[in-house]
Amino acid sequence: MENDRIFSGKKVIKKLDFWKKNENSLLYTKAADNRDPALTAALLSAKGTCKMDYILETRDLVKSYRDRTVVDHVNLHVRRGEIYGFVGPNGAGKSTVMKLVMHLTAPDSGESCLFGEKTGDKNFECFKRIGSIIESPCFYDQISGRENLALHCEYMGYHNHERIDEALALTGLSDTGKKTVAHYSMGMKQRLAIARAILTRPELLILDEPVNALDPGGIREMRDLFRRLNQDYGVTIFLSSHLLSEVEQIADTVGILQNGSLLAETSMRDIRKFQAEYILLETPDTAQASCLLSQSLGITDFDVISETQIGIYDKKASVEVISAALVRDGVTILGIAKNKRSLEDYFFRMTASRNEVNI
């Protein structure tokens, strides 16, 4: 009844036509912000059942090859305007998830949505708004980088060829001339792949290991480029990487994938809370030190990290008090210092807890 009212309203139909013609994402955002609830409902009815809170969303994605499940009920949620870091060890299934999102391979079950629309063989219009690198970058080797980008523009239906120079300059490939891609180094190919992904000013970038094969300088340049695209142009970036330090520096949200399962989807703000300082105690006698910490000093928030290491997370604990107590009780101290936990620690904590559950 409500929808009937909405669709009969001339104003809404007019707006809907405008959206259909322009695929204007801002209108989407405004509608999703509840400034125009009627329009939101109309858009939802018109474009399928996916929520538009997320620019990219997957629901219970499952993919198996023979008897092995490589993607196991993955539910991803990427918000408009954020940088989403998708991390996991090699073989965790990151690339397969990205292929499923881009509908390069069909899921066994579940679905993925881009811009609120379910992806499928017939739903390819949304790819106009996406730039992507999936797995290793591939080019037509017998033509130059510039010609590859021109061809990309033609296939994307993007006619502003002046952007090619801009994209090449942004990725440091301005002076490659007529050199064919066959003669490019791996790093140059990676840069060209990034140039191709950003060329058509997409709203969403899906980048699978985008800094692979780049030198440290190149990694920093590309990180700055992604940040600028995100901050200045509002480009949403969904990137996968096994370089946790890279993701830590750039991402707003992190998704951790292991053995095809999404272990956690956490904002970097929450991870930073986890990243609070702690005391790392190194001693050959962790058992006695643990006893002393809990019984004499009343500290309970600590972990025995390894045979010689204890992490003490109690905010009230001080290095001086602990070291004095240990010395007094004759516990050998190999080292004691304040430390800060990284995304790597968070990642290993998550994956270790999952392994314990599996065991």
Partner 1 sequence: MTHLIRLELKKIHPWRYLLISAAGILCSMFFVFVALHDSSARTRTYDEAFRTVQMIFAFLFVIFFSVMNAAVIIGEYNHGTIRLMFTYPLDKKKLIAAKLVLITSFMALSILSGYLICGLFILGLGREPGLFARPFTPEVITGQLSAALMSTVVFCCLGLLTFAVGMIKKSVSATIVSAMFFIFLRQLVIASMPEPKENLIIVLAAVCITAAALLRTFARNVTGLD
Whole-angstrom distance, CA of residue 61 vs CA of residue 50: 14
Tokens 């870091």 found at: 85
CB contact set of 296 (below 8 Å; sequence gap of 6+): 325, 329
Our CB check for partner 1 shows the closer of 49 and 105 to be: 105
Binding mask 144-173 for partner 1 (x = CB under 8 A): -------x--xxxx----------------
Our CB check for partner 1 shows the closer of 40 and 132 to be: 132
Our CB check for partner 1 shows the closer of 96 and 258 to be: 96
Whole-angstrom distance, CA of residue 315 vs CA of residue 318: 8
Phi then psi for 65, rounded to 5 degrees?
-115, 120
Phi then psi for 304, rounded to 5 degrees?
-85, 110
Q: How far is the CB of 33 from partner 1 (least distance, A)?
A: 27
Q: How far is the CB of 275 from partner 1 (least distance, A)?
A: 36
Q: How many residues bind partner 1 (CB under 8 A)?
A: 29
Q: How far is the CB of 239 from partner 1 (least distance, A)?
A: 16
Q: Among 38, 41, 46, 104, which residue interacts with partner 1 (rule: CB under 8 A)?
A: 104
Q: Among 45, 136, 275, 309, which residue interacts with partner 1 (rule: CB under 8 A)?
A: 136
Q: How far is the CB of 108 from partner 1 (least distance, A)?
A: 11
Binding of residue 111 to partner 1 (CB under 8 A): no
Our CB check for partner 1 shows the closer of 78 and 100 to be: 100
Q: Are 212 and 138 in contact (CB under 8 A)?
A: no
Site for partner 1 in 35-74 (CB under 8 A): 65
Question: Could you count the other beta carbons within 10 Å of the beta carbon of residue 306?
Answer: 10
Q: Single out the segment in contact with partner 1 by CB under 8 A; choices: 13-21, 35-43, 123-131, 283-291.
A: 123-131
Whole-angstrom distance, CA of residue 306 vs CA of residue 342: 17
Q: Single out the segment in contact with partner 1 by CB under 8 A; choices: 36-44, 118-126, 281-289, 318-326.
A: 118-126
Binding of residue 106 to partner 1 (CB under 8 A): yes
Phi then psi for 183, rounded to 5 degrees?
-100, 10
Binding of residue 108 to partner 1 (CB under 8 A): no
Say if strands 302-304 and 309-312 run parallel, antiparallel, or are unpaired.
Answer: antiparallel
Whole-angstrom distance, CA of residue 119 vs CA of residue 106: 10
Q: Single out the segment in contact with partner 1 by CB under 8 A; choices: 10-18, 75-83, 96-104, 314-322.
A: 96-104
Binding mask 188-227 for partner 1 (x = CB under 8 A): ----------------------------------------
Q: Among 80, 94, 99, 146, which residue interacts with partner 1 (rule: CB under 8 A)?
A: 99
Q: Are 83 and 237 in contact (CB under 8 A)?
A: yes
What 8-state DSSP symbol labels residue 180? B
**How many CA atoms, within 13 angstroms, populate the side-chain half-sphere of residue 121?**
3
Binding of residue 125 to partner 1 (CB under 8 A): yes
Q: How far is the CB of 230 from partner 1 (least distance, A)?
A: 21
Say if strands 261-267 and 277-282 run parallel, antiparallel, or are unpaired.
Answer: unpaired
**DSSP string covering 232-244, please?**
HH--EEEEEES-H
Q: How far is the CB of 193 from partner 1 (least distance, A)?
A: 9
Helix axes 145-156, 186-198, angle to 10 degrees: 30
Distances (CA, A) of 147 to 137, 182, 196: 16, 13, 11
Q: Among 138, 169, 291, 334, which residue interacts with partner 1 (rule: CB under 8 A)?
A: 138
| Site of interaction with partner 1 (CB under 8 A) | 65, 99, 102-106, 121-122, 124-128, 130, 132, 134-136, 138-140, 142-143, 151, 154-157
